[in-house]
Amino acid sequence: MNPHPHAREDLAQAAASRGALTVSGLDKSFDIGGKPRKILDGINLNVRPGEFVSIVGASGCGKSTLLRLIAGLDTDYSGELRLDGDRIATTSLDRGIVFQDHRLFPWMTLEQNVELALLNTDTPKSRRAQIVADHIALVNLKGFEKAYPHQLSGGMAQRAAIARALVTEPKLLLLDEPLGALDALTRVHVQNELQRIWMAQRSTMVMVTHDVEEALYLGDRVIVMSPNPGRIRRIVEVDLPHPRDRRAPLLHRLKDEILAELTSGADAAESADNLVHLPSREAR
């Protein structure tokens, strides 16, 4: 619990050398039907250490692609991607990711799944069990250590995936629509958990979502993206201390603004273009 902005700044300073993400002039194209198609166009973004950044945008705006590039799962890009000054060229234990599907290994218990993330870290073997237990407690799953993923509910499995991603203490945690597959109630619950965990850990987090409310509730800043090709349209500062109140008027005002931006965004000509061309492109 840390409602004081000053204390928060101190913490942020302590972590200053950890988790600063720099994206500059990032372009990404996919080959579709033999023709290159631009997915990301000139993305520039600086994420401060310890910051929570949300990215929203219509489907197809390349926000998940951006996250996969930062994770190092796809290394075919032009431009600059750096974490604490080091160019991102492959995956790294410094960068954790939570996917929309939890991706826990079904053949392992919750405990084993979390511990497996420590396999290639230099964490001493003797301390691993304790660290795993701490992280399972962090996501409120105590008592489910021996459960197999199919025995967990969707929300529990997703929290387990968050524990697995955090156990390596990554400088940067990437969240790719982590709550997208959950029902509305579970979603609100896990959002609260996520806020609590972020406040406890203070690692840098970048979350992609299509839920504007969720983006605003969690993000220090919200990046609004537009599609075809994916560009940053606007960056919204959410100047509210954590933990936040969902009913805060600022959040609602910003939500209306961003929704207006996202829906009016594609002007008549552009959307007509989409309607005419999307199906034929798929047919090819």
Partner 1 sequence: MKDQLARWPVRLVIGLVAPLLLIFLWQWQASAHSVTFAPPVAVASALAELLRNGDLLRDTLATLQRAFTGLAIGAPLGVAAGIAMGIWKPVDRLLGPLLHALRQVPMIGWLPLIGLWFGVGEGTELIVVSMSAFFPSMLNSHAGVAQVERRYLEVGGIYRFTTLQRIRFILLPAAMPLVLTGITQALAFAWISTIGTELLTGAGSGLGVAMQTAQVQQRLDIMLVVIGVTAALGFLINQLFRRLRQSLLRWQPAQS
- Chain residues in the site for partner 1 (CB under 8 A): 71, 73, 91-93, 96-97, 99, 101, 103, 105-108, 116-117, 119-120, 148, 150, 168
Minimum distance from residue 81 beta carbon to partner 1 (Å) = 16
Minimum distance from residue 155 beta carbon to partner 1 (Å) = 18
Minimum distance from residue 178 beta carbon to partner 1 (Å) = 14
Cβ-based nearer residue to partner 1, 59 or 120: 120
- The amino acid at residue 138 is L
Minimum distance from residue 143 beta carbon to partner 1 (Å) = 19
Cβ-based nearer residue to partner 1, 56 or 118: 118
141: tokens are 């799953």
**For residue 49, what are the contacts with CB-CB under 8 A and spacing of at least 6?**
12, 15, 16, 17, 18, 19, 20, 171, 204
CA distance 96 to 42: 24
The alpha carbon dihedral of 64, 67, 71, 74 has a sign of positive
| 23: nearest Cα among 41, 50, 36 | 41
Cβ-based nearer residue to partner 1, 176 or 214: 176
- The amino acid at residue 201 is Q
The alpha carbon dihedral of 76, 82, 85, 88 has a sign of negative
Cβ-based nearer residue to partner 1, 203 or 226: 203
Cβ-based nearer residue to partner 1, 93 or 199: 93
CB atoms within 10 A of CB 42: 14
Cβ-based nearer residue to partner 1, 91 or 271: 91
Minimum distance from residue 239 beta carbon to partner 1 (Å) = 33
Minimum distance from residue 107 beta carbon to partner 1 (Å) = 4
CA distance 81 to 25: 9
Minimum distance from residue 151 beta carbon to partner 1 (Å) = 8
∠ at Cα 169 (204, 137), nearest 5°? 105
Do residues 12 and 49 lie in contact, with contact meaning Cβ atoms separated by under 8 Å? yes
Cβ-based nearer residue to partner 1, 182 or 224: 182
Do residues 2 and 32 lie in contact, with contact meaning Cβ atoms separated by under 8 Å? no
